[in-house]
Structure 1
Amino acid sequence: MSKNMDEIIKLCSIHVNLSESCKQSLKRVLQSATESQFKLVFSRLENTLQKFMSKLVVKPISEAQKFTFIRLYINYLVDPIRKLSWKAIEAPNKDSLLFLESLPNEIKQIGQDNLNKVAILKVNGGLGTSMGCNGPKAMITVAGSKNFLDITFSQIQAVNSTFNCKIPLILMNSFNTSGETSEWVACQNSTDIYTYEQEVFPRIDKNSGLPFETSEEESEWNPPGHGSVYQALYDSGLLDKLIESGKEIIFISNVDNLGAVVDRSLLGVMISDKKDFLIETAPKTKMDVKGGTIVTNNGRLTLLERAQVPDAHINEFEDINKFTIFNTNSLWINLKALKKSLEKSPMELPLIVNPKTVDNKSIIQLETAMGAAIENFKNVGVIVVGRDRFLPVKKTNDLLLLQSSLFSLDSLNIPRLDPSRTAVPMVSLDDHYKTVHDFNTRFKAIPNMLDCNSLSIEGDVRFEENVTLVGDVKIINTDSSPLIIKNETLKGTS
């Protein structure tokens, strides 16, 4: 087996510089390979690696990212959906978790005293295609005339003004979002916004195993998931720039999560406990059963995604009484610890295989997730936060809730749930509301939902002014003509 490994590593070294740690990383990927898999990997690499590397020459990609692509590609050939050994998986002991609501005021004060040491990074690489938008998701209007970037920047400005500090905003864009985001940045007249672009990987033709080719050159590439946030930050030079300017901590979250704001207590934990890495989690509900969770794997904290769970244990994974928390994808990281890790070797993050169909062809995207980086740091922590810090907008269902009277912006421009509520209603909108355009067409005015427990709409229903929803409301319109609702209170089933 070691001979087979050495042959593959030798082949890879022709195309990328391999440090000893990189060689060990490849060996870990190959350690479970059978004799036939070794032959497959060697044959595929011999026939395709040169083609992939030649394609990457035209892109500004670092040696570290070239290596990451090769490692993930080999991982894909050996075991595209690597299931973890369930015997080694355990839910973290409650005593090992931190709880935001239980932190003392002294921790918050430490955070407040160190606000000038933090930077905020928003992952801004996604398009709004799932909601029918062609441009960056961050440009979708959320409240009034403000989009995600408008509100995010106003949140940071409010903190800077209130606490007399200078927290910069950093945006990691993809090639899909850089153009429009740059235009937005230019309009802000601020020197405290920085951008960088994550690198790209070539898409893979699933049938041939070769680089995917099409008439539209941009369609041949994919952003490699938000796991590239670290290496791309390092390669851009911004990591060094932040450290040189006195920043010690970076807070990373998705741009569509308006609840993920700088928190003095969380910053205080990073400073007082000298944490390298802190991941925010929230209590699981039945809505979150498919979300990734934090577990111990052979005693080490790790991110467990549903795809990594053996089929026989899916029900156990989705048991909210056993695995009580889920990953919110909001992370706090010590910048010097991050730099030290990246200078040692590229992040060794698990492979995510993302299948797509382009031009009626099956293609594969190789990606990674940023939360999985927890395994690359020593002094790590897991903290349980409230749902108010997890307000992502994935569908128009979420957009309806945020735009309703259930939420209002506080003095720091953070969406806050009305104090009369402990949770948001369950909302189900059918395909008539799938795109933002369809949503805006049918919601000329947002109904009052303060006393609504759940809302289900099937068919073409259009809301105009002065509509109130109370209790469990279900509206069905089977007619081809739209049902218009205005000046009405709907209680229960309608």
Structure 2
Amino acid sequence: MEALSAAQQKMRTAGVSECGINVFSSYFADLQHGATGLIPESTIDPMPPAPRLAEKNFSPAVQAEALGKTAFLKLNGGLGTSMGMDKAKSLIPVRTGESFLRLICRQIRSAREQSGKLLPIIFMDSFRTQRDTLAALDKNMEIPGIPLSFLQGREPKLRRDNLYPVIWEENPELEWCPPGHGDIYTALSNNSLLEDLLSRGFRYLMTSNADNLGAYPSGEIAAWFAESGVSYAAEVCRRTPSDRKGGHLALRRSDKQLILRDTGQTPPADMQYFTDEKRHPYFHTNNLWFNIEALRDLLQKTAGLLRLPLIRNQKTVDPCNKDSVPVYQLECAMGAIVEKFADAKALIVERERFLPVKTTNDLFVLRSDAYKFTEEGRVLLQIPTAPIADLDPQYFCFIHDFTERTRHLPSLREVEKITVKGDYTFTGMEKLRGRVEIGNA
């Protein structure tokens, strides 16, 4: 208990809310008792049949009405440390100087025009991203009485050897981590956002990752969600070989409840099933739809302590130094809330709804002529299947090195996969087709 007390005291000294401390303490107890958060294949069945958005047909008036009752929340706590960044990943230029942040704002302006309503855009930031985000945001996006941004919590990283909060004098900020995007529910319990939205006539909330430009405000999905009458829905896409590591929905055998299983919750012996796109043919996009009143009632009933499944992430205190102290980061997934709603549904959407940028490989493809960017901030694939990029991480992993070597992009419209080995700088004159390997080792 001394390790937990030390962590709790550290959090109180840093001003973490009591709700946040209670949630952390709950996960700490799970960890201490050997919980891993693993969901064996033997305890689940594949997701049952779900409706397809393509099968629906809503009039423009119905779409506009539903869209006008929807608020949009973006998860914006990521720094992009895997790409060598120390600022919000949403500030990365995607095309002609336009960042994720600016393109998101374009999408919201377009939705405002379609609905005729002043729709809210809200960012959940971490303690590392909020200042840069607010400085870059167009203040015209703000709606009186509804914040542009609110802070998610933070928690101490725990030493793997004794579970005490790690001490890292070289950079004390690295002693802390965000508690995963599932912390959105703790953060919402600590503020009045849901009540503020309800008082202004909004009934639905759509949440998504800021680095997924495919998650634009959709009148079609808003209309489907309004018609469904359910408390919660998750967008899912058909899996391809490149999506085998993405989390998926499944039916828990013990109570027939829809649940989420992520990669980190899959026993190593069951990964063959997790990655089998025939057994689990749809992956979870993290584009989520809520009935605001139902979410508010759930958070009030539980005082924000939802006890979602633990994700025990094994890291090092300095993510850029693999020889630094091994730590645990205790997290939960936002989409795991699916198991708290008996009427939860999945909606099958097209792949255009899922365009995340997790690495410079993803950014390379997104910046290419394989995609078209519209005036509304939409991103449209111009070829039947998106190409796959595999760039040498030694020379392309970090955003600075990547930018230096990709100032002149080649056409990828006829490329199935491009692999680059060694130190190579693109000229833009390359003629590429099919499966391509470039070497300059």
Question: What is the TM-score normalised by the length of structure 1?
Answer: 0.83
Q: 76-85 vs 327-336, which deviates more? A: 76-85
What amino acid does structure 2 have at the position aligned with 1:422?
P
| Structure 2: tracts of 5 or more residues without a match | 319-323
1:184 is matched with which residue: 124, 131, 136? Answer: 136
How far, CA to CA, are the matches of 2:4 and 2:406 in structure 1? 51
Q: Are residue 138 (structure 1) and residue 83 (structure 2) matched?
A: no
Is 1:338 the equivalent of 2:295? yes
Matching residue of 2:414: 451
Q: In 2, Cα distance between the equivalents of 1:58 and 1:73?
A: 18
1:17 aligned partner: none
- Correspondence for 2:154 among 191, 200, 215: 200
Greater mean alpha carbon deviation, residues 350-359 or residues 220-229 = 350-359
> Cα deviation per residue 1:261-304 (whole Å; 9 max; x = unaligned)?
11112111221111111101110111111211100002110001
After superposing on structure 2, the runs of 4+ consecutive aligned residues of structure 1 that deviate more than 6 Å are: none
Q: Would you say the 8 A contact 1:132–1:436 is kept in 2?
A: yes
Alpha-carbon distance, 1:369 to partner: 0.6
Distance (whole Å) between structure 2 residues aligned to residue 162 and residue 269 of structure 1? 16
d(CA) in 2 for partners of 1:214, 1:471: 48
Percent identical: 31
Q: Which residue of 1 aligns with 2:321?
A: none
CA distance in 1, matches of 2:223, 2:351: 20
* CA 1:116–1:163: 2 relative to 1, 3 Å: closer
1:231 offset after TM fit, Å? Answer: 2.1
| Aligned residue identity for 1:61 | V
User: Which residue of the partner structure matches residue 388 of structure 2?
Assistant: 426
The number of residue pairs the alignment matches comes to: 427
Distance in 2, Cα, partners of 1:378 & 1:433: 45
- Out of 289, 303, 310, which is 2:267 matched to? 310
Instruction: Specify the code of the residue in structure 2 equivalent to 1:414.
Output: R
Q: Deviations over 1:426-485 (max 9, x none)?
A: 21111211111111111121111111122111112212244432222211112xxxxxxx
Shift of 1:109: 4.5
Aligned to 1:124: 76
C-alpha distance in 1 between matches for 2:242 and 2:16: 38
C-alpha displacement of 1:85: 4.7
The answer to which structure has the higher helix fraction is 1
2:315 match = 356
Q: 2:66 aligned with 1:104, yes or no? A: no
Amino acid at match of 2:436: V
SS in 1 for 2:101: helix
Q: Say whether the 8 Å CA contact 2:232–2:338 is kept in structure 1.
A: yes
Structure 1 counterpart of 2:20: 65
Which residue of 2 is the match for residue 27 of structure 1? none
> What is the aligned-residue RMSD (CA, Å)?
1.7
More relative contact order, 1 or 2 (CA 8 Å, 6+ apart): 2
Aligned to 1:217: 172
User: In the alignment, residue 331 of structure 1 is paired with which amino acid?
Assistant: L
1:148 to 87, 92, 100: 100
Amino acid at match of 1:226: H
In the other structure, the counterpart of 1:389 is: 353
How far is the alpha carbon of 1:411 from its aligned partner? 3.9
Structure 1 residue aligned with 2:250, among 295, 305, 310?
295
Distance (Å, rounded) in 2 between the aligned partners of 1:347 and 1:364? 21
Contact persistence 1:111–1:271 (CA under 8 A): no
Q: 2:201 matched to 1:237?
A: no
Unaligned segments of structure 1, at least 5 residues: 1-44, 479-494
Could you tell me which of 278, 284, 289 is aligned with 1:327? 284
1: CA distance, partners of 2:3 / 2:422: 49
Is the Cα–Cα contact under 8 Å of residues 100 and 385 in structure 1 kept in the other structure?
Answer: yes
Whether contact under 8 Å (1:81, 1:307) holds in the other structure is no
Amino acid at match of 1:448: S
Cα distance between partner residues in 2 of 1:474 and 1:309:
33
Q: 3-state SS of the aligned residue for 1:236?
A: coil
Amino acid at match of 2:377: N
**Scaled by the length of structure 2, what TM-score is found?**
0.93
Question: In the TM superposition, what is the alpha-carbon distance from 1:330 to its structure 2 partner?
Answer: 0.7
Q: Shift of the alpha carbon at 1:183?
A: 1.1
- 1:90 corresponds in structure 2 to 45
Please give the alpha-carbon distance, in whole angstroms, between the structure 1 residues aligned to 2:115 and 2:3.
55
- Residue 128 of structure 1 contacts residue 134 of structure 1 at CA under 8 Å; is this kept in 2? yes
Write the distance in 2 (CA, Å) between the matches of 1:57 and 1:372: 27
1:53 aligns with: 8
Output aligned runs, 1:395-474, within 5 Å. 395-418=359-382, 421-431=383-393, 432-474=395-437
Tell whether the 8 Å contact from 1:281 to 1:326 is kept in structure 2 after alignment. yes
CA contact (8 A) 1:110 1:271 kept: no
Specify whether residues 465 and 379 from structure 1 end up closer, same or farther in structure 2 by C-alpha distance, changes over 3 A only: same
Which residue number corresponds to residue 116 of structure 2? 164
Once the two structures are superposed, residues 285-338 of structure 1 have per-residue CA deviations (whole angstroms, 9 ceiling, x without a partner) of 111112111000021100012333334332122211111001111100111111
> Is the deviation greater in 142-151 or in 445-454?
445-454
The separation in 1 between residues aligned to 2:440 and 2:213, in whole angstroms, is 33
The letter of the residue matching 2:188 is L
